[in-house]
Each structure stands twice: as C-alpha cells, then as structure tokens.
Amino acid sequence: MKLAVIGAGSTYTPELVSGLSALEVGELALHDIADERREIVGGLARRMLDRVGYRGRLETTGELERALDGADFVLIQIRVGGQEARLRDETIPLPCGCIGQETTGAGGLAKALRTVPVVLGIADEVRRRAAPGAWIVDFTNPVGIVTRALLDHGHRAVGLCNVSITFQRHVAQLLGIEPARIEVDQVGLNHLTWVRAVRVDGEDVLGRLMADHGDALAEGAGLPRRLLEELGAVPSYYLHYFYEHDRVLAEQREGVPRAAEVAEIERELLEMYKDPSLNEKPALLERRGGAFYSEAATGIVASLSGAGDAVHVVDMRNGGTLAGLADDDVVEVPARVGPDGPVALRQAPMAPELLGLTQHVAAYERLAVRAALSGSPLDVRKALLAHPLIGQDEMAGELVERLLAGEPVR
C-alpha cells in the first residue's frame, strides 16, 4: 500500500505518522510545496518511523506527480495561504459585525474560495497518476465544502474531521471505559453537528451521561448546560458561533485571534522538530489542535483498504440519510466503511430546531462551491446572503469587497 500525504509540511503530520504502525503501509510519500517545512517535518517523521522499526519506504518530495504516482490513498491536509491567510480570515469579518472563524461564516467562505480550486487541481492529478480506485481522504477545511466539490467532480473521496473521535475519547474518559465500546451518533454538516445518542455496547446512555456529566459536556461545547438539556443533544463546539454569536463576537474583537496563537505554537513546534534527538511527537502538539487525528485517519484508511469494516463518522453524500436535505448535500454522519466506501447508518429525522439550521447552512455550502469555482463577486455575495451568520444586504456587500481584496489584518 502506498499512502501519499499532501500538505505534509503541516505540524499535524507527526500526529499522523504516530498512527501509521496500525497500517501496512509499504510506501509513505510526504509532499509539500514549502521546502523548509517539508524537510523539517519529514526529518522528524523519518526518526519516528525508525524508532518503531518501520520497514517501508519513506519519500519526501516537492513534486506532486512523484508523490501521487501509484498511490492507493491520498490524504489532503493543505492550508492555502498558510497562517497569514487564516489570520485574515479571522479578522476581516470583525469590522463588519461578523464572527471571524476559519471554517464558519465569512472567514470560512474566504478559505473555501482559496482552497477548493487548489484541491480540485490536486484531485485531477490523483485521477491521472494514482493507482486505479485510489481514495482521497480530505482533512482540509472547510471539509464539508471541499468534499462536496470533490464529489461533484466525480472523485472517489470521503471527508474526515476529528470532532467525533475527540468527543468519543472525552466520553470514554468521563465513563472510565475503553473508547472502542462507544459509538457516537453525530449528525449534521461538518462543523455543524449534534450528538443525539451515545451508545455503550449498543445501549444509548446519553440521558445518563447528561445527568451525571452535563457540566463537562457543556464546557466542551462552550455552551450553557441548560441549552444542551433543552435540545436533548450535545452540539459540537462550532455551534457556539451560532447560539452565542454576540458574546463570541465581542470576545473576538477584544481578544487575540486564534490564528496568532496557532502561528506561535507552530513556530515552537518547528524548532522542536529540528532537534535531531527528537523521535516522537512532542506534548506541545496537543495545543495545536487536531487531537486523535492519527487515529481517525488511520482508522478510515484501514477500513477502506479492506482491513475490516468499521463505523466511522465521515463526510459523504446525504443520499436520503437525513430527511429534509437534498440527496447531493454532503452530511457528516456515522457510516460503515469498507473497501467500496462509506454506507451511512440509518438516521431518525432531525428535530425542527436542528434541521432548520442544517438546511440553511447546506444551502450556503452549495453556493460556496459555486462561488469558489466561478470566482464571481455575485456568487460570493449570494453565498454570504445565504449564510445564517450574515444574511444582510449591506453587510454582504461590504464583505465581498473585503474578502476579495484580502485586506491586511488589524
């Protein structure tokens, strides 16, 4: 098996490499267009693999064609424009009275506009050069929008996020049990999901979990416990941008952007990665985000390769899974994954208070893909008008100008 990682200069890559021992990877290709980052991260990856006795071939390269040649799996984890672009995404919307976030709202749209064309270009090369039937696993945000673009263009792709596996591990810690016993029934769109059931050995324990550990669940969601109890579900952390918009906006206007914090963490990590004696992922990596990324990624690759089907929460076509959404919408749901791809588990209809917001954002995501492909200011404007965090004529007009101009950060 050959696995190609596109965007391997990411500081996430050691997290991924740490999980590769669970896979029979004969060849690992690490690709990045940033020479220095690629060599630094690639050097640490080599030391990590040597430490565990990896017998396959490791190649680091700046040539996309070389990385993709014969690949069975292509994991895409790029950030077009780097942390500087992220900082713009998080700060440009603030003067307009909008949340600044890299995957949600106006900032998420800005990222999609940059990212979708680049990912589709990579996917076209996968089609030309990878092994027949190769799978693309997209970890690049905004995952739902990027995955939709890939599927719209006929690529064999599935989207992956670490929100569900992180919640599973949190619950396992709260209950003091092995994560493998827990199945998380998380539904919605990428970064717009609710956990409606938590099954331990097949039994739904969400009610008991809320009663015994409601405060911890609420803290993880960044929302009041009362709201979780009213919804009868646990929203993902990204829902607090919707449910507590004004409070979050006020905090963002006064605080330090997350992008600035991440950039500093990345600088520290890259300095650590240069250390020739370092041969395992450092603890600081946990502050970067992407917890349990390696387990999520290696788990889905294992299932797609035929090493045993299993249930994973993935981004895939709706296909009738969630009533009230179009069949071609890309949803994030539990699915049984095997060599032929994901098959969504059957889902009960979403409650109106969940479905309404989901439909609203699904319409925006459809328009976001259109805008990313056309580059038309009118299409960008329509996407902004459709987003529930924006939706105002004057605000959308101002944001179109700011986003397309790529104004400097404050």
Catalytic site positions: 238
3-state secondary structure of 73: strand
In whole angstroms, what is the distance from residue 131 CA to residue 70 CA? 4
Cα distances (Å, whole numbers) of residue 176 to 172, 173, 182, 207, 270: 6, 5, 11, 17, 35
Beta-sheet pairing, 234-235 with 330-338: unpaired
In whole angstroms, what is the distance from residue 362 CA to residue 142 CA? 13
The closest alpha carbon to 313, from 296, 298, 326, 328, belongs to: 296
In whole angstroms, what is the distance from residue 183 CA to residue 345 CA? 12
Please classify residue 295 by burial: count the beta carbons closer than 10 Å to its beta carbon, then call 0-12 exposed, 13-18 middle and 19+ buried. buried
Q: Which amino acid is at 225?
A: R
Token pair, residue 94, equals 């603030």
DSSP string, 143-154: HHHHHHHHHHTT
Token pair, residue 233, equals 């579900």
Task: For 190-338, list the strands marked E by DSSP.
Answer: 192-200, 203-204, 234-235, 310-317, 330-338
Q: Is the separation of the CB atoms in 383 and 391 below 8 Å?
A: no
Phi, psi at 284, each rounded to 5°: -60, -25
In whole angstroms, what is the distance from residue 134 CA to residue 126 CA? 8
Rg value, the chain, Cα = 20
In whole angstroms, what is the distance from residue 64 CA to residue 78 CA? 13
Intra-chain end-to-end CA distance of the chain, in Å: 47
Please classify residue 122 by burial: count the beta carbons closer than 10 Å to its beta carbon, then call 0-12 exposed, 13-18 middle and 19+ buried. buried
The HSE-up count of residue 81 (CA atoms within 13 Å, CB side) is: 17
Cis peptide before 142 (omega within 30 of 0): yes
